[in-house]
Structure 1
């Protein structure tokens, strides 16, 4: 078992370098100790290395509940708590103790360093801080990574686009951070905003105001996937007016680094993000020759990638905890056509498997049924 200093070092390494964990590291160390003892006593397959990843899930639940959204929305994720307990060979009684421990942690947490870092990143007005925060979730969050599409095709496209592995990875994470949409059409920023609004019901005063302001700024973000642009005007070394391939004009677009005076052409391919009333190049921009423009037609490129991602998902199946075999395409891309079924599916309640309504006399059929306390 780690000492507090060892734990703090390990815990910090699992977070973004710009995030301070000092605010709640003692709280999570205490929780780590309880889990360590419980696993040591109850697990048939003791593995202490599985505790920290589970703590990250608890931290996420305390801070914003982002993992829980995708855990319920996508069946391929499964029940995280149950899967963790099953992987360690824990009994039903021990699993219940874990569930209670997680619930108590969410209730008892007096602050969240992760939430504070997220809020400060959004409210900073600094696009680099915002993009690094969202990209960190896209890159490091294990639950979120499970519901992304097969990334091989995006990786190949960005590698062909940038030509360097590090640069292509940055472009990939920038794309997922701002442009990926879940099965309901929500971006990562949209979902975080929604969860922050939900959290305002449980706080007041300054914290409530900050969460509302953060949600509003996240809602106002607008992103453009990789596509081609023509330079209309250079205003300074980092600010350009660009015309999108479809004719839309973006004034005062801010580049991440100063562009050379002798730019090789008037054409480039880039991702754009509008945040806090300013528009930025997200990731890298690549200057193109005029003859390259048809090759980087964004509509054509993305249509092909999305089609390949969906076809890849059609070839994969998984089995739920209740033994139902499900096609990954159905899980990642479709929503039940029945509005009531879709509503409860987003809460992790599926009518084609045993669920809570089996104990309440059957489907609600339009009745309002409160499942909370």
Structure 2
């Protein structure tokens, strides 16, 4: 078992360098110790290295509940806690003990260093801090990795454009942070805003008011996917006026990197983000010559990539905990047509598999459109 000093060091390395974890590292060390001893006694296949990644999931649940959204929304993710317990080959009683232990920890948490870092990043007015926070989630959150499409085509596009592995990698993750949308059409920004807006009253009035302020700030963010622009004016080395290839103009665009001399009428490929009433070039930009410009038709490129990602998903399959075989395409891209069925599916309740209504003694009709308890919709408090 790790000592507190060892745990603190590893815990800090698992987070963004700008995040101060001191506020709740003791809390998570206590939970680590309880899980270590419980699993050490109950597991047939004990591997202590699996505990810290699971603690990150618990931390996420306490701070924002982001992982839980995707855990319910996508069947390929499944029940994270149950899957983690299954990896240790423990008894059902031991699994229940883990569930109760985690539930108490979530209920007892009085503060969250992760949530504080997120709120400070959004409210800072500093685009670099905001972008780094969102990009860290996009890149490091293990649950998000399950629900992204096959990223090979995107990686190839950014590499072909940037010609540098590190630059292309940064462009990939900043794009996912601001422009990837889940099958419900929500971006990472949208989902975090919603989670903060509907935060638990148990956090207290002041904390809830602060989180609503964060949500409102996140609601103002607008992003443009990677595409090509022409510089039509520039005021200094960090302020440009850009003309999108579709004719839209973006004035006073802030480029945090230094702009080379004499950029008038030059072309570049970039991602734009509007935050706090200012528009920024997000991450790196690539300057293009006249020959390369026609090749980078953003709309055509993205449509081609999305089609390839969907085709790849149609060839990949997984089996749910109840033995149902589904293609990744069904899971990553489709939503039940029936509104009520779609509502329940977003809470992880699927009428084509055993669900909570079976245990409540409710009958499920054979028709999907009527597959709701007693033929009526029961809206549960989220």
| Matched residue, 1:246 | 246
> How far 1:369 moved relative to its partner?
4.7
How do 1:73-112 residues align onto structure 2 when only pairs under 5 Å count?
Answer: 73-112=73-112
Q: 3-state SS of the aligned residue for 2:295?
A: coil
Q: Report the CA distance between 1:366 and its aligned residue.
A: 2.9
**Deviations, residues 90-115 of structure 1 (Å, cap 9, x unaligned):** 11000001111111011000000000
For the Cα contact (< 8 Å) 2:230–2:265, is it kept in 1?
no
Distance 1:159 1:136 in 2: 20
CA deviation vs aligned residue, 1:17-63 (integer Å, no higher than 9, x gap): 00000000000000000000011000000000000000000000000
> Structure 2: how far apart are the matches of 1:250 and 1:7?
47
1:115 is matched with which residue?
115
Once residues 78 and 261 of structure 1 are traced to their aligned partners in structure 2, the CA distance between those partners, rounded to angstroms, is 53
| Structure 2: distance between partners of 1:82 and 1:115 | 25
TM-score computed with the length of structure 2 as normaliser: 0.95
Identify if the C-alpha distance between structure 1 residues 48 and 232 changes in structure 2 by more than 3 Å, giving closer, same or farther. Answer: same
Q: Which residue of 2 aligns with 1:153?
A: 153
Q: How far apart are the structure 2 equivalents of 1:35 and 1:51?
A: 7
Alpha-carbon contact 2:318-2:326 (below 8 Å) kept: yes
Aligned-pair Cα RMSD in Å: 1.2
**Equivalence for 2:237:** 237
Deviations 1:281-321 (Å, cap 9, x if unpaired)?
Answer: 01211111223222001001101100111011000000000
Q: Residue in 2 aligned with 1:125?
A: 125
Aligned to 1:326: 326
- Structure 2 CA distance, aligned partners of 1:222 and 1:202? 31
- CA-CA distance at 1:124 after TM superposition: 0.5
Alpha-carbon separation, structure 1, partners of 2:202 and 2:307: 42
Classify 1:264/1:160 alpha carbon distance in 2 versus 1 (closer, same or farther; 3 Å): farther
Please give the secondary structure, in 2, of the residue aligned with 1:273: strand
TM-score by structure 1 length? 0.98
Distance 1:245 1:279, change over 3 A: same
1:366 aligns with 2:376: yes
Equivalent residues in 2 for 1:302-321, closer than 5 Å: 302-321=302-321
For 1:204 and 1:109, how far apart are their aligned partners in 2?
13
Distance (Å, rounded) in 2 between the aligned partners of 1:345 and 1:15: 32
User: 2:350 aligned with 1:340, yes or no?
Assistant: no
Secondary structure in 2 aligned to 1:271? strand
Deviation at 1:200, TM superposition (A): 5.2
Where structure 2 has 5 or more consecutive residues not aligned to the other structure, the ranges are: 364-371
- Cα deviation code 1:249-298 (max 9, x no counterpart): 11100112110113495211100000111000012111112232220010
CA distance in 2, matches of 1:264, 1:13: 43
C-alpha separation between the residues in 2 aligned to 1:371 and 1:178? 29
> Would the aligned equivalents of 1:317 and 1:325 in 2 still touch at CA under 8 Å?
yes
Residue by residue over 1:151-208, the C-alpha shift from the partner in whole angstroms, topping out at 9 and shown as x without a partner, is 0000000001111000000000000000000001100010000000111533333322
- The 5-angstrom pairing of residues 271-290 of structure 1 reads 271-290=271-290
C-alpha deviation, 1:131, in angstroms: 0.6
Deviating 4+ runs (over 6 angstroms): none
Task: Give SS of 1:291's match.
Answer: coil
Is the aligned partner of 1:48 residue 2:48? yes
Alpha-carbon distance in 1 for matches of 2:319, 2:125: 44
Q: Which residue of 1 aligns with 2:367?
A: none
CA distance in 2, matches of 1:44, 1:264: 67
1:195-274 matched pairs, under 5 angstroms = 195-199=195-199, 201-263=201-263, 266-274=266-274
2:340 and 2:377 in contact (8 A); partners too = no
- What do residues 109-167 of structure 1 show as CA deviations (whole Å, max 9, x unaligned)? 00000000000000011111001100101111000111000000000000011110000
Aligned to 1:65: 65
Q: Secondary structure at the match of 2:282?
A: strand
Contact map agreement 1:177 1:188 (CA 8 A) in 2: yes
Q: How many residues align?
A: 372
